């Protein structure tokens, strides 16, 4: 199968961060040529019409099936938010989890995300929605102490079963999800970590999201969460620590020494007013790979990584009183090539280069918010001026999921109708 994307301005995100013009040739899902003119015809040709082509964006922390819970716990104190969400979460069924996951995948396609990392239970149900959507899901089954879970059976055993059943599915990558130090014992952390390393699986965990989490861990374990996990030998280069907002410089260095990566979630943290600003500059200075997550739809209300890029940069600049912190190129890296490094897939995705899988998005280059279209400002426009609604065409693994604004991999009307009905039944 030959596919050609023509007439594009290509933000390659390669090692030189080149921006080139021309065509992209794709053979059986793999990129064979970037830039210049591709002669001849193909089985499928996509006219980018001067649009901006990027690698598909990578969301490194979310809870996709919570899309149908959007808006149920807004503008509440953190404890009230938790009470509301946990009460609804305990009533969830396979039907509404799948409906929520399908809606979330649809939203991500429309806003240019082609790979995401999830942390939730019922990952087998979510996987079905991901497969139907055509995007790539790294699905971490939620592991926590049995006394705190609503899952049937032992969470780690459920995670192992999910891995056995889904490890050979295309575009589904089973992973281990650890809820956090507040519901996971040392035994749970070490057991889950051992299983992940034995099977070369990624680990997604919540880390130091709130000040209370830190103080509770200090009372229980005598150490802050990052120091505690380092002291028990849990941290490693398969870990992606979400939030990481309340870290000391010593904890940052411990993450760096272990090769642990971070998924910063600025909108979620600001919306919940959990305080603290993730020390992203110090992470980068110490060699920590930093990527971006939206978190779930109850704490963010949006799965749009374009908005997340802008919020992250502005939050860091404002909190440091330094406009040079997190420049546009560095932030764009965090949702493309650095995110691919974080999920250990940079040999496959994260940039538009020969030999990589064709995960591509095309933005409307004629949109008013992206003009004037000057080569020297194109990256700044992407980070500070763009929205997910600028995305017109999406390919994942070489398959066209949306073309010229029309989703082709999912029945959009049906997905949204089922999500609405599932929400009505669940929420009353």
Q: Which domains can be identified in the chain, with CATH numbers? A: 2-55+356-407 (2.30.40.10), 57-342 (3.20.20.140)
d(CA 139, CA 199): 14
CB neighbourhood size of 301 (10 A): 17
pLDDT at residue 261, as a whole number: 98
The residue written with tokens 């239970």 in the block is 121
**pLDDT tens digits for range 75-121:** 998 888 989 998 998 899 999 999 999 999 999 999 999 999 999 99
Q: Which of 245, 240, 210, 243 is nearest to 78 (CA)?
A: 210
**pLDDT tens digits for range 340-371:** 999 999 999 999 999 999 999 999 999 999 99
Torsions phi, psi of 306, nearest 5?
A: -65, -45
| Residues of the chain where predicted confidence (pLDDT) is lower than 70 | none
d(CA 313, CA 385): 12
Q: Is 142 in contact with 120 (CB distance < 8 Å)?
A: yes
Q: Which of 165, 114, 104 is nearest to 137 (CA)?
A: 114
pLDDT at residue 90, as a whole number: 87
Greatest extent of the chain over all pairs of C-alpha atoms, in Å: 68
Q: Which of 220, 219, 231 is nearest to 184 (CA)?
A: 220
pLDDT at residue 276, as a whole number: 86
Give 400's strand partners: 395
Q: In what order do the strands lie in the sheet with 290-292?
A: 57-62, 113-120, 136-143, 172-178, 203-207, 239-243, 261-264, 290-292
pLDDT at residue 79, as a whole number: 84
Give how far the C-alpha of residue 387 lies from the chain's centroid of Cα atoms, to the nearest Å.
Answer: 16
Q: What angle do CA 169, 175, 180 make, to 5 degrees?
A: 155
């Amino acid at each position: 199968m030959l596919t050609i994307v023509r007439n594009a301005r290509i933000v390659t995100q390669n090692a030189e961060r080149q921006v080139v013009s021309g065509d992209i040739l794709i053979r059986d899902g793999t990129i064979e040529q970037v830039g210049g003119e591709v002669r001849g015809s193909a089985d499928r040709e996509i006219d980018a019409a001067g649009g901006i082509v990027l690698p598909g964006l990578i969301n490194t922390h979310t809870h996709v099936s919570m899309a149908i819970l959007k808006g149920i716990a807004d503008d509440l104190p953190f404890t009230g938010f938790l009470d509301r969400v946990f009460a609804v979460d305990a009533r969830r069924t396979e039907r509404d989890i799948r409906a929520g996951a399908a809606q979330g995948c649809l939203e991500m396609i429309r806003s240019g995300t082609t790979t995401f990392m999830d942390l939730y239970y019922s990952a087998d149900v979510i996987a079905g929605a991901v497969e139907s959507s055509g995007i790539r899901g790294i699905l971490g089954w939620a592991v926590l102490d049995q006394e705190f879970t609503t899952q049937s059976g032992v969470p780690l055993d459920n995670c192992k079963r999910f891995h056995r059943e889904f490890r050979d599915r295309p575009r589904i990558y089973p992973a281990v999800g650890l809820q956090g130090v507040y519901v996971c014992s040392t035994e749970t952390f070490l057991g889950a970590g051992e299983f992940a390393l034995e099977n070369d699986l990624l680990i997604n965990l919540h880390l130091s999201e709130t000040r209370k989490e830190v103080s509770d861990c200090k009372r229980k374990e005598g150490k802050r969460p990052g120091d505690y996990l380092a002291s028990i030998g849990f941290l490693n280069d398969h870990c992606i620590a979400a939030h990481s907002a309340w870290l000391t410089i010593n904890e940052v260095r411990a993450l760096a020494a272990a090769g642990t990566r971070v998924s910063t979630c600025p909108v979620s943290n600001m919306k919940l007013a959990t305080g603290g600003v993730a020390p992203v500059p110090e992470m980068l200075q110490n060699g920590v790979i930093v990527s971006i997550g939206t978190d779930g739809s109850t704490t963010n209300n949006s799965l749009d990584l374009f908005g997340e890029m802008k919020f992250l940069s502005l939050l860091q600049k404002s909190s440091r009183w330094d406009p040079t912190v997190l420049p546009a190129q560095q932030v764009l890296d965090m949702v493309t090539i650095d995110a691919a490094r974080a999920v250990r897939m940079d040999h496959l995705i994260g940039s538009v280069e020969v030999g990589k899988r064709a995960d591509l998005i095309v933005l409307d280059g004629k949109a008013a918010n992206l003009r004037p279209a000057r080569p020297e400002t194109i990256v700044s426009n992407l980070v500070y001026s763009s929205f997910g609604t600028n995305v017109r065409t999406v390919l994942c693994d070489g398959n066209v999921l949306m073309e010229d604004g029309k989703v082709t991999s999912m029945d959009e009307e049906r997905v949204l109708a089922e999500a609405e009905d599932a929400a009505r039944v669940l929420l009353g």
